[in-house]
Amino acid sequence: MKKFINNPKNFVNEMIEGILFAHPEKLKCINNDLRCLVRADKIKKGKVGIMTGGGSGHLPLFLGYVGNNLIDGAAVGGVFQSPSAEQMYQVTKEIDQGSGVLYLYGNYTGDIINFDMASEMADMDGIKTMQVLGNDDCASSIKGEENKRRGVAGLVFAFKTAGAYAEEGASLGEVARVAQKTVDNTRTMGVALSPCIIPEVGHSTFEIGDDEMEIGMGIHGEPGINRGKLMTADDTVVVMLDHIFRDYEYKTGDEAAVIINGLGATPLEELYIIYRKVHLTLQDKGIKVHRIYIGEFATSMEMAGMSISLLKLDDELKRLIDTPCDSPFYKQV
Amino acid sequence: MKKFINNPKNFVNEMIEGILFAHPEKLKCINNDLRCLVRADKIKKGKVGIMTGGGSGHLPLFLGYVGNNLIDGAAVGGVFQSPSAEQMYQVTKEIDQGSGVLYLYGNYTGDIINFDMASEMADMDGIKTMQVLGNDDCASSIKGEENKRRGVAGLVFAFKTAGAYAEEGASLGEVARVAQKTVDNTRTMGVALSPCIIPEVGHSTFEIGDDEMEIGMGIHGEPGINRGKLMTADDTVVVMLDHIFRDYEYKTGDEAAVIINGLGATPLEELYIIYRKVHLTLQDKGIKVHRIYIGEFATSMEMAGMSISLLKLDDELKRLIDTPCDSPFYKQV
C-alpha cells in the first residue's frame, strides 16, 4: 500500500483536520466531531438547508461541495462507509434555519437507513426534512429499475442546481423538486482501469489485468457491465455515450451540461482527450454543450478511470447551473 | 501502458483540441498551430505581456495558467520536450501590446535555448523581452548553485504575482522584478512514489520498489537526493520541510503562501493529510500561512507523489497573491 498516510485508522480524521486547517473561513465542524461539517459562514435566516453525507475516499465528494450557492453541511463516514444517523441529525439541526432541510445523497443502502433515522430524529424536533437520492449511474441497473441505480459524479449537478435555488429563497418542496428534476435528467457512465486500496484493509479492492478495462464499474469497485481489453479513448467514449443515449433520449437542439470526472489517478491530459471525443460526438448529434466540468469531482482515491455525466438542461436548470458558487473544492465565477 | 489515449503520436494535439473545445471563451490557438496558445479575450493595450512555455505532461502547467490576472500565452511542446523558438516567437508577437513581453518559465536547457532564440527574433521586430527562470526545486542543486536548479510547481506563484502586477499596469522591468522576487523567495521539495509513462515511449520513466519513495525527484523523473523506504506522511513532511528550511531561512512572524501539489495520481485525501502536518510544523515555527493551494498544479501525468512549495511573502507579494484570477484551470475569487 503506497500512500502518504500515518496510521490507517486515522486516515479520515487527519484528512479532515488538514481540510479544516486549510479552509477555516469556509468549513467548520460542530460538537467537536470532525465528521460533522457545516459552512463556516452564517446561513441566511429562512433559507432551506441542504445536506449530504456518505463515505470518505471520494474527494471532493461529499464535503467538498459545502459552500456558498452549494450545500450547507455534510456528515462524513469512514472510507466507503456511511456516517451515523446521529451525525446526520446533528448537521441537520445546525443548518436548519426554520424552513427545513433537504437530504441530497447517493442511493446506497447504508446511507438510506441512516438518513431515514436522522429524518425521524429531526421530525421529533419539528424540523421538516425531505430526501432526494442521486441515482445517475446508468450502468448499475437496467432501464425501468432506476431506483436501484447508484449515485456517482452526477450528484454534483444536483448540489449545484438545488444549492443555487435554495439560496434564491425557494421552499423545501421547490428545492426538492429541482434536485429531483436534476437527478432525473442526469446519466453517468464510468470506466475503471485500476483499483484503489482502502487504508484500513491494505490491499486492492479488486484485481484487473494490465491490458483490461471495466466499463460501468462503481466508485467503490462494484462490478460493471463489461470487462474487456483496453480500448482507445475514442472507442471508450463511443461505448459509454451509446449506453447513455440508449437510456435517456436526446434530440437535436437539446442542451446539456457535461462532467468528465477523473476517478483519482487519471491525468488531466487524458480527461481532455476524452472530452475531445465527447464534444465531437455531441456536436454530431446536434446537442449543445452549455457548460463543461473537467477534473476530479467524485473519486475513488487512487483508482485510475473516469466517468462521463450528462445533464439535460431546460431554462430553469440552465439558470441554476450558471449561478456562481464557491467552496474550497469548487468555484464557478 | 494503461492510458485513455488514441495514437500516442496524437496525445498532445488531441489534448489541446479537447482543451480548446472545452474553453473557447478563455483560450485560442494562433496561426492554426495548436501549440501556440493565447488568451481568447482582448489584452489591454499597453499591458506588459507574460508568456511561458515548456513540455506537455504537466497539466495544469503550463498552458493552464493563461488567463485573466495570470499570463497571456504559452508555447506548448511535446511530452517533456521544449516547444520551438518559432512557436515562442509567434506567441510573443501575438501578446505584445507595445510594452514588451516577459518570458517566465522553468530552468531547463532546451527551453532556455529556444526562449533565447525567440527573444532575438522578437528583438528584430522591436519587441522588448525579459526573462525570469523558475528554479524553486531546492533538491536539484546545492545552496549557492541556485542557477542550476530546476523549476517546478513554485513557478505558479510567479505566474500569480507577475500576472496580477502586469494587469495593474506595471512596466516590463517592474513585472520582471516581481517575478524574480517571487522566484527568489520560493522553495519546493518533491517526492515520488511511482513513475509515469511517456505515451510515445510506452514504458515507465524509471523503476521504484513497492516499498520505496524518492525524495527530491524531478517532475520528469530526474534523480532525487534520497531513495529509501516509504515513510509515514508526517515523517515525509518533516524531512522535506527540514530541507527547505536549511536552504531558506524563515523567522517567527514570517508569512508564507503554500502549495501542496499532487504529481498526478496522488489522491486529494493524501494531500490534505500532508497539509495537516505542514500546517502544524509551520505553526510550531511561528510562520503564518497566508494562503494555501492544495491540488494539482504541476504534474507528471500519472506519477504518484507530491511536492511542497513555500513562498515567503512581503506586503507587495501578499497583495499580488491575493488578487482574484481566472483561468480554465485555476480560479481565485
Say what the pLDDT of residue B235 is: 98
Which residues of chain A does B80 touch, with a Cβ-Cβ cutoff of 8 Å? none
Inter-chain touch A269–B304, beta carbons under 8 Å: no
Between chains, do A268 and B299 touch, taking CB under 8 Å as contact? Answer: yes
B19 and A272 within 8 Å at the Cβ level: the answer is yes
Nearest Cβ partner for B15 among A57, A232, A269: A269
Residue among A41, A112, A34, A121 at smallest CA distance from A74: A34
Tally DSSP H helices, then E strands, for chain A: 8, 14
Which chain A residues touch B231 with a CB distance below 8 Å? none
Classify strands B255-262 and B288-295 as parallel, antiparallel or unpaired: parallel
Distance CA A234, CA B3 (A): 12
Interface test mutation site (partner B, options A37, A273, A277, A326, max chain B beta carbons within 10 A): A273
In chain B the first and final C-alpha atoms are separated, in Å, by 39
Q: Cβ–Cβ contacts within 10 Å for residue A2, how many?
A: 19
**Residues of B whose CB is below 8 A from A233:** 4-6, 14
- Quick check: B296 and B216 in contact, CB under 8 A? no
Among candidates A145, A75, A127, which has minimal Cα distance to A104? Answer: A75
- Distance between CA atoms of A295 and A318, rounded to whole angstroms? 21
**Rounded distance between C-alpha atoms, residue B108 and residue A120, angstroms:** 62
CA–CA distances in Å: residue A134 to residues A71, A129, A157, A187, A225: 15, 16, 10, 10, 20
Q: What is the residue whose three cell numbers read 501502458?
A: B1
* Structure confidence at residue A103 (pLDDT): 98
Whether the Cβ atoms of residue B294 and residue B270 lie closer than 8 Å to each other: no
Chain B residue with minimal CA distance to A257?
B22
pLDDT of residue B273: 98
Cβ-proximal residues to A74 (8 Å cutoff; 6+ apart), any chain: A37, A51, A52, A53, A62, A63, A65, A66, A91
* A-interface mutation test, from B237, B240, B269, B322, most A Cβ less than 10 A away: B269
Inter-CA distances, A209 with A192, A206, A230, A301, B24, Å: 11, 10, 10, 19, 38
- Please report the domains of chain A, with CATH numbers, ordered by start residue: 12-181 (3.40.50.10440), 186-322 (3.30.1180.20)
Q: Give yes or no for a contact between A163 and A234, defined as CB atoms under 8 angstroms apart.
A: no
- Closest residue on chain A to B229 (Cα): A2
Residues in B closer than 8 angstroms to A11, CB to CB, are 269, 273
Backbone φ, ψ for residue A188 (5° rounding): -130, 140
What is each CA distance from A95 to A67, A89, A102, B221, B277, in whole angstroms?
A: 12, 10, 10, 48, 30
pLDDT tens-digit map of A78-103: 999 999 999 999 999 999 999 999 99
A33 backbone dihedrals φ, ψ, rounded to 5°: -105, 110
8 Å CB contact of B302 and A60:
no
Cell numbers 425557494 correspond to A170
Task: With beta carbons under 8 A apart, name residues in chain B contacting A6.
Answer: 232-234, 273
Kindly give the residue spans of alpha helices, DSSP state H, lying in chain B: 11-22, 85-95, 109-124, 155-167, 172-184, 233-247, 268-284, 315-322
pLDDT digits (tens, 9 = 90+) for A141-156: 999 999 999 999 999 9
How many CB atoms are closer than 10 A to CB A231?
Answer: 16
| Cα–Cα dist B308/A312, whole Å | 41
pTM above 0.95, yes or no: yes
Strands A305-313, A288-295: pairing kind: unpaired
Q: For residue A324, give the 3-state DSSP assignment.
A: coil
- Provide the Cα torsion B267, B268, B270, B275; round to 10°: 150
SS3 (DSSP) at B270: helix
pLDDT band at A268 (very low <50, low <70, confident <90, very high): very high
- Catalytic site includes residue B220: yes
Cell of B324: 482574484
Per-position DSSP letters for B166-218, written without gaps between them: HHTT--HHHHHHHHHHHHHTEEEEEEESS--B-TTT-SBSS---TTEEEET--
Cell readout for B268 is 486529494
Instruction: Point out the residue among A6, A16, A236 whose CB comes nearest to the CB of B233.
Output: A6
Which of B5, B231, B273 to probe the A interface (max A CBs under 10 A)? B273
CA of A57 to nearest chain B CA: how many angstroms apart?
Answer: 7
Residue of chain A with shortest Cα separation from B232: A6
Task: Give the HSE-up count for residue B306: Cα atoms under 13 Å, Cβ half-sphere.
Answer: 31
Residues of B in contact with A56 (CB under 8 A): 269
DSSP letter (8 states) at residue A176: H
Which of B14, B213, B326 is the closest to A273 by Cβ?
A: B14
Q: How many CB atoms lie within 10 A of CB B303?
A: 29
Question: Of A59, A275, A294, which has the smallest distance from its Cβ to B269's Cβ?
Answer: A59
H helices present in chain A, as ranges: 11-22, 85-95, 109-124, 155-167, 172-184, 233-247, 268-284, 315-322
- Compare all CA atoms of chain A with the CA of B291 and give the residue at the minimum distance: A22
Least CB–CB distance from A272: residue in B15, B276, B326: B15
Low-confidence ranges of chain B (pLDDT < 70): none
Contacts of A211 in chain B (CB under 8 A): 2
Contact in structure between A298 and A156 (CB atoms under 8 Å): yes
The residue of chain B nearest to residue A211, with distances taken between CA atoms, is B2
Q: What is the pLDDT of residue A330?
A: 93
Name the minimum distance, in Å, from the CA of B300 to any CA of chain A.
Answer: 8
Q: Give the list of residues 6+ apart from residue B149 with CB closer than 8 angstroms, or none.
A: B107, B135, B136, B137, B138, B140, B141
Enumerate the β-bridge partners of residue A132: A104
Q: Is B58 a catalytic residue?
A: yes
List Cβ neighbours of A93 (8 Å cut-off, separation of 6 or more). A122, A125, A127
Measure B181 CA to nearest chain A CA, in Å: 25
Q: Are A27 and A328 in contact (CB under 8 A)?
A: yes
Cβ–Cβ gap B11/A273 under 8 Å: yes
Which of B309, B5, B280, B7 has its CA nearest to residue B136?
A: B309
pLDDT at B83: 98
Give the nearest partner residue to B6 out of A193, A232, A299, using CB atoms.
A232
Q: Which of B58, B203, B279, B290 is catalytic?
A: B58
Locate the chain B residue with the closest alpha carbon to A213: B2
Chain B residues within an 8 Å CB radius of A270: 3-5, 15
C-alpha cell at A279: 464534444
Local confidence band at A254 (pLDDT 50, 70, 90 cut-offs): very high
Residues B39-74 pLDDT 10s: 999 999 999 999 999 999 999 999 999 999 999 999
Q: Region of B303 please: left (phi>0), alpha (psi -120 to 50) or beta.
A: beta
